[in-house]
């Protein structure tokens, strides 16, 4: 089943290894076909009051904590799988070419 998860990604910038929370998108074969290019920004815009906002943030942070138990994604080396939304001409790589 396709979907997404929070993941910890790492990349090198100006000689420093930077770790950031990103979103990783999975195809039906559970392979990553996309990642966000910017770190996750935590926002709640539908809360009716402060307590609801706190509860929403707590749930979001718990999901992030749980998802971060997965391996770290090396954003400089990742080879993305085929997107479930692409056509063969948009993403011509074969599955065996992906890591």
The number of domains in the chain is: 1
**In this structure, is residue 89 part of a structural domain?**
no
In a domain, 92, yes or no: no
For 66, the domain range is: 3-84
Q: Confirm whether 93 is domain-assigned.
A: no
C-alpha dist (Å) from residue 28 to 2, 17, 25, 51, 79: 5, 31, 10, 37, 17
- Answer whether residue 94 is part of any domain: no
Give the residue-averaged pLDDT of 74-97. Answer: 72
Rounded percentage of the chain residues whose pLDDT exceeds 70: 85
Domain-embedded: residue 79 = yes
Kindly state whether residue 28 falls inside one of the protein's structural domains.
yes
Mean pLDDT of 70-85: 91
Q: Scanning the structure block, which residue is given the tokens 């998802």? A: 67
């Amino acid at each position: 089943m396709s979907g997404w998860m929070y993941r910890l990604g790492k990349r090198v910038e100006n000689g420093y290894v930077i770790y950031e929370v990103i979103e990783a998108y999975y195809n039906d074969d559970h392979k990553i076909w996309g990642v966000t290019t910017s770190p996750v920004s935590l926002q709640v815009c539908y809360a009716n009051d402060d307590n609801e906002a706190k509860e929403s943030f707590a749930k979001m942070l718990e999901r992030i904590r749980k998802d971060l138990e997965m391996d770290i994604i090396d954003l400089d080396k990742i080879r993305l799988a085929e997107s479930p939304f692409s056509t063969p001409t948009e993403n011509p790589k074969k599955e065996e070419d992906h890591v």
